[in-house]
Structure 1
Amino acid sequence: MLIAYNEERQLFLPYQYTREDLQRYRRFMKFYCPQCQHPVHLKIGQYNIPHFAHQSKNNCAQLFAEGESQLHLQGKLQLFEWLKKIGHTVMLEPYLKELSQRPDLLVTSDRRQVAIEFQCSTITHEKWLSRTLGYKKNAIQVLWLFQTSLKNSSLQGIQKLNISPILQKVIAYTAQDQPYLITYDAKTARFIYWTNLLPVYGHTFIGKVQEMTTNMQHFPFYEPVVITIEEFRLYWQLYKRYCRQFAYQRLLHNHKGVQDAFLRSCYELGFTLTAMPDYVGIPVKASEAIPMFSLEWQTILHYFCQGIQQLPHELNKSEIRFFLSEQNMDITDQAVKAIQNYGAIFAKNYQNHYIPDICGHVYAHLFAIATIY
């Protein structure tokens, strides 16, 4: 922990003093945990950030974790100083008794409170949900800010991203309904934006990575702008590459033969895995609700449509739900929307006999049009 009370009940922040001063204070001053009131020990290392630790284990340690990494301590201090510098009222490690929780930072503005959780270590879904709901029940907005992973700490530009399930839970949306994620790199004191996120499959996304120094950042955080059609063409190239890789891998590692719904559909429709039609494998909004690669479910959808003599854009909600049920997929509103979104794109191509600039049309549906179908 970065704070403690001294014998006079005054808040003591070690980072504000030199190591020589801290060594002198440690000899004659006693410190106490702000949460449990038990004595704590001031730790002053040669390289580590000065901090406090309980002198003996007690129940407090379950609420106020011991053994924080130096990166976590460093990041909290950087964010604390940054928020103060830009004029915000912010508390470091405040104990919220009514929640029995201690956010890393608590920002108060116009009677509105925002708890900032800077997360460096792994956290379970259960713990994340419990803490998030705790803040929500007490009308406190929570902002989860994860330490930037090593893989994505130095690369910028449009690229493939691996976003873990827990990080996917904190994806935010702009006013134009574009998904993005902000992480923080305490090593470089920079915010890393993963913007205009396009789901590929599972944990894989395509996104544009940009960095911003604390000197340039605002709070609440700046929202990213929509990518251009030229930038989306790079997305399109990457996405189509993954489509080809998916088809090749399915053919190479197929063990089900004709029982494989995707390969069976390709055979019945006369699709060639090495040259799939442009109108399958299309990224659409809400596609993350369908646990299949777009090339797979859209091909199977066309085979399903052939069986009932319909086209994808002609399907009603009842027929869409029946399709999802046949494929043992969860019948959710988002999954239905994904298929409707695909139908809307397919209809345009069908009416124009598969217009050559399908990339531009997909861009319009994904980025330029905010309507959710």
Structure 2
Amino acid sequence: MFSAYDREGRKVCLLHYNNEEIKGMREKTFSCPDCGDPVILKTGNYVTPHFSHKPNKRCRHHVEGGEGKYHENGKRDLYYWFQQQGIFVKLEYYIRRIKQRPDLLVKWENKYYAIEFQCSTIPGEVIVNRSRQYLSIGIHPIWLIGMRRISYKSDHIIMQRFEWLFFQKLSKESISPRLLSYCPNVKRCLLFDEPYPYKRKVYGSARIQPLHRFTFAHWFQNIENMKSSFINKWFEIKKMFRLTVPKRLSRQEQIFRNWLYEKGFHPQQLPAYINVPISSHYKIETPLYIWQAFLCIGFIKDQEIGETFTYNQCLEYVERWIMYRNIPFYHDDKEPIYEYLLLLQHLGIIETVGKYTFMKVDNIHLYELLEEALRQDALILQRLQV
């Protein structure tokens, strides 16, 4: 951390001093703003000057993630970035009312924001509880993750379950959850919207560039929709799904394939409207093709033409097979099962006879030839681009 109290109780922020001044502080005594225990001033030719607890201390700050050079450098970069925009910013400001010390406390357009740059894995409950405490006194939390936690490619990112906790709603105008990420090593910031996950890969709309080319206002603005190029990519995903079998099957994948084989079907035969992306499917951790196949093959296929069924019946059937994703900082009215039913209506498989009641109007057809399946995949995805 960059801030500590000296013996007289004055707050010392190392970012306000040059290297020579900091070296002159080595013999002074400092204490942690959180727990009050003594901290050590660390400095040197290859060390970013900072304060550190003595070994084995159980300060809340250490228990909830600690800090390292990567985190310190990122926090410093963001601090100077806000200053350069003329935005009020406090580094490691201790909020006594809730006993929290965000990395940065920012005031912008008459609102306070707690900026947290998270680089280590900590329990999700800690993240949620800390955010709730900020909100309880009118401070809006904004979380960034260290970019080394994810792998950014030209059209997708690769990440683990933990990183999903940081998708958030930053403004009332947000059209999708947003992930913010920063790398102090290369000074680049990533804004990532409209997540469409496929296994560990997440496709979406991304904007990545040097931090100095962003303003704080950019964090709240929507990114240009990349749906056209994304749909083309999804055709390749569907093609790979039909043509290849994973070398290692997860337990969930094995259960699904066994279920499909017991019904006499193969993944290559699945209708083109299975494994089709919808805007809210990120809310379900279970792979898209699994829960859509369970709904179409396991439930709708058994209905007679002209027979009606309800959304709640579909939900009750499918929820036995799915696991929802934990995204605590983004909420909207979209429900993936219902959104998928509306897609099937658009494609002419079912019709709406009431807001939550549907009627089957076409049979669920499985393909005999791979060529026909791939042709139908292309046609379905073309209709989604319209």
TM-score clears 0.5:
yes
- State the AA in 1 paired with 2:140: Q
C-alpha contact 1:286 1:334 (8 A) present in aligned 2 = no
Q: What is the identity, as a one-letter code, of the residue corresponding to 1:123?
A: I
Conserved in 1, the CA contact under 8 Å of 2:193 and 2:204? yes
What residue number does 1:283 align with?
Answer: 277
- Following superposition, the deviation at residue 99 of structure 1 comes to 1.1
What are structure 2's unaligned runs of at least 5 residues?
326-330, 351-361, 363-375
8 Å contact 1:157–1:210 — kept in the other structure? no
**Does residue 308 in structure 1 map to residue 282 in structure 2?**
no
Structure with the bigger RCO (C-alpha within 8 Å, sep 6+) is 2
TM-score of the aligned structures, taking structure 2 as reference length: 0.76
Q: Which whole-Å CA distance do the structure 1 matches of 2:286 and 2:45 have between them?
A: 52
Secondary structure, counterpart of 1:144 in structure 2:
strand
Q: Say whether the 8 Å CA contact 1:2–1:13 is kept in structure 2.
A: yes
- Does the alignment pair 1:12 with 2:6? no
Superposition deviation, residue 199 in structure 1: 2.2
Q: Does 1:166 align with 2:188?
A: no
Match of 1:324 among 315, 318, 323: 318
In the alignment, is the contact (CA less than 8 A) between 1:146 and 1:183 conserved in 2? yes
User: Deviation at 1:243?
Assistant: 2.9
| 1:240-251 matched pairs, under 5 angstroms | 240-241=238-239, 243-244=241-242
Distance 1:315-1:42 versus aligned 2 partners, 3 A rule: same
How many Å separate the matches in 2 of 1:14 and 1:283? 49
Partner amino acid, structure 2, of 1:169: L
Q: Which residue matches 2:367?
A: none
Paired position in structure 2 for 1:144: 143
Q: What is the CA distance between 1:260 and its match in structure 2?
A: 3.0
Tell me how far apart the structure 2 counterparts of residues 79 and 292 of structure 1 sit (CA, whole Å): 36
* CA RMSD between the two structures: 3.9
Helix, strand or coil at the partner of 1:122: coil
Counterpart CA distance in 1 for 2:104 and 2:247 is 47
Aligned-residue offset at 1:185: 0.6
How big is each residue's C-alpha offset from its partner over 1:112-147, in whole Å with a ceiling of 9 and x where there is no partner? Answer: 211111111111112222212221222211111110
Q: Partner amino acid for 1:309?
A: E
Cα distance per residue 1:174-230 (max 9 Å; x no partner): 7362333111111112112233311224x4422344312222112141534233453
Q: Structure 2 matches for 1:211-230, cutoff 5 A?
A: 211-220=208-217, 221-230=219-228
In structure 1, runs of 5+ residues without a counterpart are: 365-373
Q: Report what 1:206 is aligned to.
A: 203
Q: Does the CA contact (< 8 Å) of 1:93 and 1:103 recur in 2?
A: yes
Q: TM-score, normalised by structure 1?
A: 0.78
Alignment partners' CA distance in 2, 1:88 and 1:37: 30
Cα 1:218–1:342 change in 2 (3 A) is same
Contact in 2 for aligned 1:90/1:108 (Cα 8 Å): yes
SS of 2:382's equivalent in the other structure is: helix
Deviation at 1:278, TM superposition (A): 1.6
Provide the rounded CA distance (Å) in 2 between the counterparts of 1:100 and 1:231. Answer: 47
Q: 1:32 to 1:241 in 2, by over 3 A?
A: same
Distance verdict in 2 for CA 1:355–1:100, change over 3 Å: closer
Structure 1 residues 76-225: aligned runs within 5 Å = 76-149=75-148, 152=151, 155-159=152-156, 161-173=157-169, 175=173, 177-201=175-199, 203-220=200-217, 221-225=219-223
